[in-house]
Amino acid sequence: MQEAMIKRAKELLADGTVNRVMGWKKGEFAYDITPAVFDTAEELEQDFVCDDLTQANVSKYLIKESRKEGRILAFLKPCDTYSFNQLIKEHRIIRENVYVIGIPGGPKIDVEKIKAKGITGILSVKNEDYTLKIETIYGTETMPFYEAISGKCESCKSKKHVVYDELMGEEGDVLDSNRFDMVEKLENMTAQERYDFWRGELSKCIRCNACRNVCPACTCESCVFDNPASGISQKAAADSFEENMFHIIRAFHVAGRCTDCGECSRVCPQNIPLHLLNRKFIKDINSLYGEYQAGADTTSRAPLTDYKADDCEPSVVHERGAE
Amino acid sequence: MLKIAASRLNELFDAIAEKQTLYIPVDREPNTAEYKKYESGMTMSSALNTVRSAKDFFFPQTENLAEFKVEGKSIEVKDIRQENEDFVVFGVRACDARSFSILDKVFLSEPVDSFYKNRRDHGTIVTMACTKPAETCFCTVFGIDPTVPEGDVSVFSDGENYFFLDRTEKGTEFVKSVENFLEEGDAAKLAQVQEQARSVIKKLPLAGLSTDSFGGDKLNEHFNSEKWAELSEACIGCGTCTFVCPTCQCYDIRDFDTGHGIKRFRCWDSCMYSDFTKMAHGNPRTSQLERFRQRFMHKLVYFPANNDGEFGCVGCGRCLAKCPISMNIVKVMKALEVK
């Protein structure tokens, strides 16, 4: 696929359809891949990469890139197309300045899961018939491919590209995913158990803002948490609950707009399962307002910005109770 | 050399913890370690390093500096400094051990930071030699020998025993305080383990990285480099690199109105943030390119310029592993290298 992508990108650069290519650049190792813009065929040949370890969603970069001169080619995985579409809906990306090629998605490999097995000194990772062959400084290691699948791919919601100008590979379908399983587990806990779970997870937060800054739904020009006049101390936890509040407030801010792309949890240096907060909102919106998938289209009214006579009443909070 | 059998390590921990607070790295999840206050029965992590560095022990992420009470036109300033209690950090790696001497240059030079010094004076650092470095390790580039870490006491493992080498007065005192648990041991196998580790270190993928193109006198070569644009292009402006870094030492000081008095606190800050060093007229670095450049210029040029050529990086590799977009000091050094 990588070779075909480079070939097609070179064609589109050559015939003037686009003047830049948004993709990913090789790193020092097998896994440290950086989102990058390529201007020439030579750059593409030298550094362009798209393999089993290429996880980053590049849709958010297109806000800035679509405001530059000319048209940019973007390779989007199915999940990335939802983020892209949502950003079109919010008038953040200028659609005509992006040429979208849909590419097959995961499952992608998360090197953290390989490292969690105690495998270190990783030089290369190859998928051989669903067994990972990992060359390391200390010799060759193997592990089952499925044990190294990234969290966001484990509960993939859709193989369908919801927006594209052309497609590489086959058209996929929306999947019947298991993505709400963990949310249900949390819902079934007692209030105290759930509180302890989240306190345990959120107290690991180091306030690096990686989740916010990578989030395609967090596109405010200036974030409320960066406003010194907001009355909250954004860089420090003024008390032991404040970093907890940061994440809860952020989840509220992206409710109804989060497409569940999973980038927040992917980038968290402390492995906090932040996506579960967003999924709780998605699940609640589905049950209270009817099935809704942010980013699935660019024209519908989102449940939280629309009014229908049969919308649930605020009292639903009370009716559902504290548990 | 004095040693203790690996199977008896927890007895030693129990004895230390009886006298002073002891911190050891423990696994939160497989291969994800963090320093925790030792409680009987805890197992020391076998992970190469902790996700967060050890700088928190001396330079915590948040701390209160003073309190104020305002009544009418009078302000009462309350000095809340207290003498710290003695503590031991066990299992610090060579990279983090070196980071303390870098932090010392910042916080212990005049005017001395009394908050930092207080913790430094009361902390005993027991380091642990590396035997299985990762691909992201490059401490040797900065003249660090991970098989012989600095610290008050260095500990070496041969798989079955832990050997102790005291290096400072504080270290000697520490070893003396636990000498009942130690016995003379044969270090022949240890020498083998060290030799093996050294041969791996020579072959690490980043072992060939060179600092020759950097230093205090290299400002003009790098500051206006065209490469910063490409290097910083994908940076999302988060603070992950700064916060997992053992040597990043920038902080912000702010006042917090509790409703019944003012608390002045300081907290880690990141030069990657848009409001870093924000003054009345705004942030002097208006673009992410400038902010990104600042972080690497600080480590590779400004810091050595002010500190006898010492670089502000210890090659621990945390930023390589944790940056959301995998941009880091190694890539910057390779891109800016003058061949």
C-alpha to C-alpha distances, B102 to B98, B142, B246, nearest whole angstrom: 7, 12, 9
Give the mean model confidence (pLDDT) for residues A109-119: 95
Strands A139-144 and A131-136, by their bridges, are antiparallel
Count of Cβ atoms closer than 10 Å to residue B31 Cβ: 20
Q: What is the pLDDT of residue B279?
A: 84
Q: What is the pLDDT of residue A239?
A: 66
Q: What is the pLDDT of residue A238?
A: 63
Q: How confident is the model at residue A320 (pLDDT cuts 50, 70, 90)?
A: confident
CB-count burial class (<10 Å; 0-12, 13-18, 19+) for A119: buried
Let me know: does B104 contact B303? Beta carbons within 8 Å. no
Q: pLDDT exceeding 90 applies to what percent of chain A? A: 82
| A contacts of B242 (beta carbons < 8 Å) | 208
Residue A322 has pLDDT above 60, yes or no: no
Strands B262-268 and B123-128, by their bridges, are unpaired
Residue A67 has pLDDT above 60, yes or no: yes
Residue with tokens 């990972």: A132
Q: Is B137 left (phi over 0), alpha (psi -120 to 50) or beta?
A: beta
Angle at A161 between CA A17 and CA A1, to 5 degrees: 65
Q: What is the pLDDT of residues A236-286, one digit of tens each?
A: 766 667 667 889 999 999 999 999 999 999 999 999 999 999 999 999 999
Let me know: does B241 contact B322? Beta carbons within 8 Å. yes
B62, B236, B274: residue with CB nearest A226: B274
* Phi, psi angle pair for B164, to nearest 5°: -115, 130
- Inter-chain touch A214–B238, beta carbons under 8 Å: yes
Residue of A60, A8, A61, A54 whose CA lies nearest to A34: A54
Q: How confident is the model at residue A232 (pLDDT cuts 50, 70, 90)?
A: low
Q: How far is CA A151 from the centre of its chain?
A: 10
Between A234 and B176, the more confident residue is B176
Let me know: does A205 contact A272? Beta carbons within 8 Å. yes
| B contacts of A265 (beta carbons < 8 Å) | none
- Inter-chain touch B244–A269, beta carbons under 8 Å: yes
Residue B213 has pLDDT above 80, yes or no: yes
Mean pLDDT (chain B, rounded): 95
Give the pair of three-digit tokens for residue B7: 């199977």
Give the pair of three-digit tokens for residue A141: 């290691």
B62, B136, B242: residue with CB nearest A236: B62
Please report the residues numbered 12 through 31 in chain B whose beta carbons come closer than 8 angstroms to any beta carbon of chain A. 28-31
Give the pair of three-digit tokens for residue B336: 């800016």
Give the pair of three-digit tokens for residue B203: 């072959």
Give the mean model confidence (pLDDT) for residues B22-31: 92
Show which residues on chain A lie within 8 Å of chain B, measured between beta carbons. Answer: 27-29, 31-37, 56, 61, 115-118, 120-123, 136-138, 204, 206-210, 212-214, 226, 228, 233, 235-238, 266-267, 269-271
Let me know: does B275 contact A228? Beta carbons within 8 Å. yes
What's the CA gap between A245 and A129, in Å, rounded? 45
Residue of B288, B289, B313, B318 whose CA lies nearest to B302: B313
Least confident window among A22-31, B202-211, B256-265 = B256-265
Taking CA atoms, what residue in A is nearest to B318?
Answer: A269
Q: What is the pLDDT of residues B6-24, one digit of tens each?
A: 999 999 999 999 999 999 9
Strands A166-167 and B2-5, by their bridges, are unpaired
Residue of A177, A12, A145 whose CA lies nearest to A78: A177
Least confident window among A36-45, A300-309, B164-173, B215-224 = A300-309
- Exposure of B289 in the CB half-sphere (CA atoms within 13 A): 10
Mean pLDDT (chain A, rounded): 93
Taking CA atoms, what residue in B is nearest to A227?
Answer: B275
From B6's Cα to the closest Cα of chain A, the distance in A is 20
Give the pair of three-digit tokens for residue A55: 């996880």
- Inter-chain touch A117–B30, beta carbons under 8 Å: yes
Give the pair of three-digit tokens for residue B98: 């070196």
What's the CA gap between B64 and A86, in Å, rounded? 42
Count of Cβ atoms closer than 10 Å to residue B63 Cβ: 15
For chain B, the distance separating the N- and C-terminal CA atoms, rounded to the nearest angstrom, is 45
Q: How confident is the model at residue B256 (pLDDT cuts 50, 70, 90)?
A: confident
Q: What is the pLDDT of residues B177-211, one digit of tens each?
A: 999 999 999 989 999 999 999 999 999 999 999 99
Between A10 and A307, the more confident residue is A10
Q: What is the pLDDT of residue A221?
A: 86
Taking CA atoms, what residue in A is nearest to B257?
Answer: A231
Q: What is the SS3 assignment for B286?
A: coil
B111 touches A at CB < 8 Å? no
Dihedral of CA A154/A157/A159/A162: which sign? Answer: negative
C-alpha to C-alpha distances, B304 to A312, B148, B185, B309, nearest whole angstrom: 62, 24, 41, 4
What's the CA gap between B314 and B54, in Å, rounded? 13
A206, A210, A238: residue with CB nearest B324: A210
Give the pair of three-digit tokens for residue B29: 């999840």
B282 touches A at CB < 8 Å? no
Give the mean model confidence (pLDDT) for residues A7-14: 98
Residue B304 has pLDDT above 60, yes or no: yes
Let me know: does B97 contact B149? Beta carbons within 8 Å. yes
Residue of B53, B17, B59 whose CA lies nearest to B35: B53
Amino acid residing at B35: Y
Q: Is the peptide bond before A107 cis (omega within 30 degrees of 0)?
A: yes
Q: What is the CA radius of gyration of chain A?
A: 21
Q: What is the pLDDT of residue B160?
A: 93
Residue of A72, A110, A50 whose CA lies nearest to A263: A110
Dihedral of CA A164/A168/A170/A176: which sign? Answer: negative
Amino acid residing at A165: D
The H or E element containing residue B106 is helix B94-107
* Phi, psi angle pair for B275, to nearest 5°: -105, 15
pTM score: 0.94
Let me know: does A102 contact A78? Beta carbons within 8 Å. yes
Q: What is the pLDDT of residues B112-160, one digit of tens each?
A: 999 999 999 999 999 999 999 999 999 999 999 999 999 999 999 999 9
Q: What is the SS3 assignment for A265?
A: helix
Q: What is the pLDDT of residue A226?
A: 83
| B contacts of A270 (beta carbons < 8 Å) | 51
From B49's Cα to the closest Cα of chain A, the distance in A is 12
Structural domain spans, chain B: 2-201, 216-336
* Phi, psi angle pair for A260, to nearest 5°: 70, 50
- Inter-chain touch B278–A209, beta carbons under 8 Å: no
Let me know: does B229 contact B235? Beta carbons within 8 Å. no
Strands A72-76 and A98-102, by their bridges, are parallel
